[in-house]
Chains A and B, each alone.
Chain A
Amino acid sequence: AQSVSQHNHHVILSEAASLELGCNYSYGGTVNLFWYVQYPGQHLQLLLKYFSGDPLVKGIKGFEAEFIKSKFSFNLRKPSVQWSDTAEYFCAVIITGGGNKLTFGTGTQLKVEL
């Protein structure tokens, strides 16, 4: 069965710092990759997704992620974080043709300090 690993469980950054959250998955076939974000008191929201094509995908609020197939990775980045980016971030994977089952990572709690 596929699994998703997020290496950082808690990250604390100052405003304007750069962010990179790691995500690795364990499946050798074709996958769709997602980053979801949950702001305090809000629903899970889709931040960005990768299905095919350009491995560098851009999402909302200045976030981007790069799919590196050889490393089974899909790391999330943002050049300059803001206080409003404080949230929990989840990486998730769907195996294409595998019944649309989303497998989530354990999540990373990001706190951005002023």
Chain B
Amino acid sequence: SAVISQKPSRDICQRGTSLTIQCQVDSQVTMMFWYRQQPGQSLTLIATANQGSEATYESGFVIDKFPISRPNLTFSTLTVSNMSPEDSSIYLCSVEASKGNEQYFGPGTRLTVT
């Protein structure tokens, strides 16, 4: 399994500002994913980030709002731009295991927008 860390673990931000969340993996992985878990709801995939290519966004999520970088095989960032209180969520990154489709998850970043 992979060990995944995220920074920051939590933050409180003012509306209109932006926050960049970092995801670091202890091994090289091809596919990384970013999810959102809104209060009381399940996890929803925001985008898939492959190294060396543009991220692929799911319906309802756009690059201008959630720009993603994937500079190498062990690191990715997700930026939540021009935040509003509706962006208050837990944001998680995950990576695909080297075999099969299972994914390993980071600890999440708890974001509160005031």
Contact = CB atoms under 8 A, between A and B. Distances in A.
Interface of A: 32, 34, 36, 42-46, 49, 51, 90, 94, 96, 99-107
Nearest to A101: B45
Main SS class of interface, B: strand
A99 B103 CA distance: 13
A106 B39 CA distance: 11
Contacts of A46: 102-104
Contacts, number: 49
Q: B interface, how many residues as a size bin?
A: 20 to 34
Given A99-B48, A100-B31, A44 B105 contact: yes
27 contacts: A34-B102, A43-B4, A43-B105, A43-B107, A43-B108, A44-B92, A44-B105, A46-B102, A46-B103, A46-B104, A51-B100, A51-B101, A90-B42, A96-B101, A99-B56, A100-B33, A100-B48, A100-B103, A101-B48, A101-B58, A102-B33, A102-B43, A102-B45, A102-B103, A104-B43, A104-B44, A106-B41
